[in-house]
């Protein structure tokens, strides 16, 4: 948590002025009991109405000045807290962007979302309250005790006895609660993860009629979170009654002592009222401090969780120096490549070796789980090979700066992902300064131009995730987004699966006719989509079962022949 304080840089002034103005307000508050005592001992005792009015006006002025100081303190505290969280959010978001797919898979989307939202909001609230109250409350507590000594030393000893006991209660409960709040947040992660999974998979859940099972599982996780929350709540709720009990006992002792000393003529009645007011101030401030500490406890737990994510080092080691280019006709080469996902029991890819020349189209086919997506995900370095080398233009991809490597490549993933905004804004993800002409050119190649024009053109508003588009429409737009980049290497990871055969054929024809002739990798379940590729790689259980052209594989590769026959051979033929 302490390491996060560097993000206060730029808000040091606000972080100082906020507490400072709060202390000024607290100082004015400490003078109020003295003014009240003066009203009782002088104004009321002597029936001096003008004196009472003057003192009341002073109380009003103290109140107004305190209000002004409080508002100014709130402004600076809020500005510092919001600015701190803004910088921290930016840092966390940019840090998450450096994670490999392996790290994202391991940490979990729901966990990262919780860090960016719930934890950040809790931390912001904690920082805001700390800047306003963390110094003010102790200042008022000890200030009231000091002011009590100026009134009467013997009566003030009650304060000396009460304050350490109260502090022990407050800090003891705080230390007890901190680890428990961490467990509460962990259980909240599980609840949020389950909720997210159910919302994204609601169609599947309904298709298999498992709503009751999912509801039951959610209720179990939610009950676990509720039980832990109640447990922490019961412990923290002890703070208020215990502090009230101690304070009220102290007030009884104070009034008793004060009454004896008033009877003896040592102090005045106004002094007793002032002492009582100071004790009341201590009570209010300690309750505030208790609630503040509970809030700080939650905030520290959230801050530690955020810091834990920031301390995760990206497992993709990046070379900062741009490697020297070497002239080579071989664009992509795999040398003895193996891939095993984290915590997996076996390799997903084994002994992968092949070369791809510039401008070639490579088809990749195989059964479900054969490693097709795993193979192409190694090229842009979404995952790193466990062993072996992936080489682009005679240079190991680990020697490229990641940004430079990915500028060469455009990948269209299996799942078509679009963002809320216009068609134009979505396509420009591939190229920020793309003109409308370039966008329409990419849409034409991806067979999406007519569809876009029928919906009103490039200003058509797409909903989050492309909910207002069909599967095929989304796929064509994601392909256009990749094409507008004019990449050297184009990866189509089963990205035309929702297209009909005619549209798919027209799209592949347009790809072949592109002017800048990229090297294309087409991952597909359809042999029709890849049978005219320059080379076809057939995968089976993570290993290459065959490489060659369509007619060669039909003769030499049984796996490929079985896939082709299952799709084209008529029954009884």
Does residue 144 belong to any structural domain of this protein?
yes
Q: What is the pTM of this model?
A: 0.74
Q: Are 349 and 337 in contact (CB under 8 A)?
A: yes
Q: Are 95 and 83 in contact (CB under 8 A)?
A: no
pLDDT of residue 567: 82
Does residue 175 belong to any structural domain of this protein?
yes
pLDDT tens digits, residue range 379-388? 998 888 999 9
Does residue 573 belong to any structural domain of this protein?
no
Does pLDDT of 72 surpass 90? Answer: yes
- Considering its fold, how many domains does the chain have in total? 2
Of 310, 339, 366, which marks where a domain is finished? Answer: 310
Looking at the chain, the whole-number percentage of residues with pLDDT higher than 90 is 35
Long-range contacts of 215-220 (CB under 8 A, 24+ apart): 218/191, 218/194
451 and 374 in a common domain = yes
pLDDT of residue 84: 94
Domain containing residue 541: CATH number: 3.40.50.300
Query: Residue 216 is encoded by which pair of tokens?
Result: 């039951």
Does residue 341 belong to any structural domain of this protein?
no
531 and 445 in a common domain = yes
Q: Is 542 helix (H, G, I), strand (E, B) or coil?
A: coil
Which region holds residue 271: left if phi is over 0, alpha if psi is between -120 and 50, else beta?
alpha
456 and 533 in a common domain = yes
pLDDT tens digits, residue range 38-50? 898 888 888 888 9
Q: Is 239 helix (H, G, I), strand (E, B) or coil?
A: helix
How confident is the prediction for the chain on average, in pLDDT?
Answer: 87
- Within 10 angstroms of residue 420's Cβ, the number of other Cβ atoms is 13
Of 286, 310, 334, which marks where a domain is finished? Answer: 310
Does pLDDT of 501 surpass 60? Answer: yes
pLDDT of residue 232: 86
**Rounded Cα distance, 20 and 139, in Å:** 11
Confidence of residue 569 (pLDDT cuts 50, 70, 90): low
| Rounded mean pLDDT, 310-336 | 80
pLDDT of residue 1: 67
Does residue 349 belong to any structural domain of this protein?
no
Show the CA angle centred on residue 447, arms to residues 446 and 452, nearest 5°: 105
CA atoms within 13 A on the CB side of 57: 6
83 and 10 in a common domain = yes
Q: List, in order, residues 6 or more apart from 452 with CB less than 8 Å away.
A: 423, 443, 458, 460, 477
Sign of CA dihedral 470, 472, 473, 475: positive
Does residue 331 belong to any structural domain of this protein?
no
- Alpha helices for 311-401 (secondary structure H): 372-377
pLDDT tens digits, residue range 427-458? 998 888 899 999 999 999 999 899 999 988 89
Query: Residue 225 is encoded by which pair of tokens?
Result: 């979170």
427 and 281 in a common domain = no
CA atoms within 13 A on the CB side of 334: 26
Does residue 333 belong to any structural domain of this protein?
no
pLDDT tens digits, residue range 456-481? 889 999 998 888 888 888 989 999 99
446 and 563 in a common domain = yes
400 and 251 in a common domain = no
| Rounded mean pLDDT, 367-374 | 88
Which region holds residue 456: left if phi is over 0, alpha if psi is between -120 and 50, else beta?
left
Does pLDDT of 226 surpass 50? Answer: yes
40 and 123 in a common domain = yes
pLDDT tens digits, residue range 520-549? 999 988 888 888 899 999 999 999 999 999
Does residue 350 belong to any structural domain of this protein?
no
**Rounded Cα distance, 286 and 244, in Å:** 9
pLDDT of residue 572: 40
Q: Where are the beta strands (DSSP E) in 130-199?
A: none
CA atoms within 13 A on the CB side of 182: 12
294 and 225 in a common domain = yes
pLDDT of residue 322: 67
436 and 494 in a common domain = yes
* Owning domain of residue 247: 2-310
pLDDT tens digits, residue range 326-346? 677 889 999 999 999 887 878
Show the CA angle centred on residue 432, arms to residues 104 and 456, nearest 5°: 100
| Rounded mean pLDDT, 505-527 | 87
Q: Are 87 and 292 in contact (CB under 8 A)?
A: no
Looking at the chain, the whole-number percentage of residues with pLDDT higher than 70 is 98
**Rounded Cα distance, 11 and 34, in Å:** 37
Give, in order, the Cα–Cα distances in Å from 419 to each of 114, 336, 416. 21, 38, 10
Nearest CA to 376 out of 343, 414, 344 is that of: 414
pLDDT of residue 520: 92
pLDDT of residue 290: 73
CA atoms within 13 A on the CB side of 318: 16
370 and 224 in a common domain = no
Of 271, 293, 310, which marks where a domain is finished? Answer: 310
511 and 374 in a common domain = yes
Domain containing residue 188: CATH number: 1.20.1560.10
pLDDT tens digits, residue range 161-197? 888 888 788 778 877 877 887 788 778 878 888 888 8
**Rounded Cα distance, 506 and 450, in Å:** 13
Q: Are 188 and 227 in contact (CB under 8 A)?
A: no
pLDDT of residue 62: 92
**Rounded Cα distance, 397 and 258, in Å:** 82
Sign of CA dihedral 506, 508, 509, 511: positive
pLDDT tens digits, residue range 242-294? 888 888 888 888 888 888 888 888 888 888 888 888 888 887 887 787 778 77
């Amino acid at each position: 948590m302490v390491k996060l304080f560097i993000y206060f840089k730029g808000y040091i002034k606000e972080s100082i002025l906020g507490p400072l103005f709060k202390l000024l307000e607290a100082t004015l508050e400490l003078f109020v009991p003295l003014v009240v005592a003066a009203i009782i001992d002088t104004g009321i005792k002597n029936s001096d109405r003008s004196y009472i009015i003057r003192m009341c006006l002073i109380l009003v002025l103290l109140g107004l000045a305190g209000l002004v100081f409080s508002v100014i303190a709130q402004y600076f505290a809020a500005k510092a807290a919001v600015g701190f969280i803004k910088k921290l959010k930016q840092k966390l978001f940019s840090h998450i962007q450096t994670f490999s797919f392996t790290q994202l898979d391991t940490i979990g989307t729901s966990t990262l979302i919780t860090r960016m939202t719930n934890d950040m909001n809790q931390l912001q609230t904690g920082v805001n309250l700390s800047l306003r109250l963390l110094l003010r409350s102790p200042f008022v507590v000890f200030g009231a005790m000091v002011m009590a000594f100026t009134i009467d030393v013997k009566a003030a000893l009650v304060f000396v006895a009460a304050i350490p006991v109260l502090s022990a209660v407050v800090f003891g409960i705080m230390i007890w609660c901190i680890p428990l709040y961490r467990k509460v947040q962990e259980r909240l992660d599980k609840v949020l993860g389950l909720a997210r999974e159910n919302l994204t998979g609601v169609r599947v859940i309904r298709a298999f009629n498992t709503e009751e099972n999912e509801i039951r599982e959610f209720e179990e996780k939610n009950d676990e979170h509720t039980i832990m929350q109640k447990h922490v709540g019961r412990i923290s709720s002890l703070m208020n009654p215990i502090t009230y009990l101690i304070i009220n006992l102290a007030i009884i002792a104070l009034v008793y002592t004060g009454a004896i000393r008033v009877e003896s003529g040592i102090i005045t009645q106004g002094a007793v009222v002032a002492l009582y007011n100071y004790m009341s101030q201590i009570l209010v401030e300690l309750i505030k401090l208790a609630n503040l500490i509970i809030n700080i406890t939650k905030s520290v737990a959230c801050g530690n969780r955020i810091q834990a994510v920031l301390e995760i080092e990206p497992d993709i080691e990046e070379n900062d120096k741009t490697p020297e280019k070497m002239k080579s006709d071989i664009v992509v080469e795999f040398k003895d490549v193996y891939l095993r996902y984290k915590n997996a029991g076996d390799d997903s890819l084994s002994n992968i070796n092949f070369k791809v020349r510039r401008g070639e189209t490579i088809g990749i086919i195989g059964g479900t789980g054969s490693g097709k997506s795993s193979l192409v995900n190694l090229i842009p370095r979404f995952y790193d090979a466990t062993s072996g080398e992936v080489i682009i233009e005679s240079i190991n991809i680990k020697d490229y700066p990641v940004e430079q490597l990915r500028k060469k490549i455009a990948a269209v993933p299996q799942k078509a992902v679009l963002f809320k905004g216009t068609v134009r804004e979505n396509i420009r993800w591939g190229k920020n300064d793309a003109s409308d002409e370039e966008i329409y050119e990419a849409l034409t190649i991806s067979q999406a131009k007519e569809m876009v024009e029928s919906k009103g053109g490039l200003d058509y508003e797409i909903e989050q995730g492309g909910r207002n588009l069909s599967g095929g429409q989304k796929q064509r737009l994601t392909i256009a987004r990749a094409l507008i980049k004019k990449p050297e290497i184009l990866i189509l990871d089963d990205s035309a699966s929702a297209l009909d055969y005619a549209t798919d054929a027209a799209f592949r024809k347009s790809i072949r006719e592109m002017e800048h002739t990229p090297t294309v990798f087409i991952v597909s379940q359809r042999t029709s989509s890849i049978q005219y590729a320059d080379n076809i790689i057939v995968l089976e259980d993570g290993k290459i079962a065959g490489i060659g052209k369509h007619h060669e594989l039909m003769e030499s590769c049984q796996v490929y022949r079985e896939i082709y026959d299952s799709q084209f051979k008529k029954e009884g033929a």
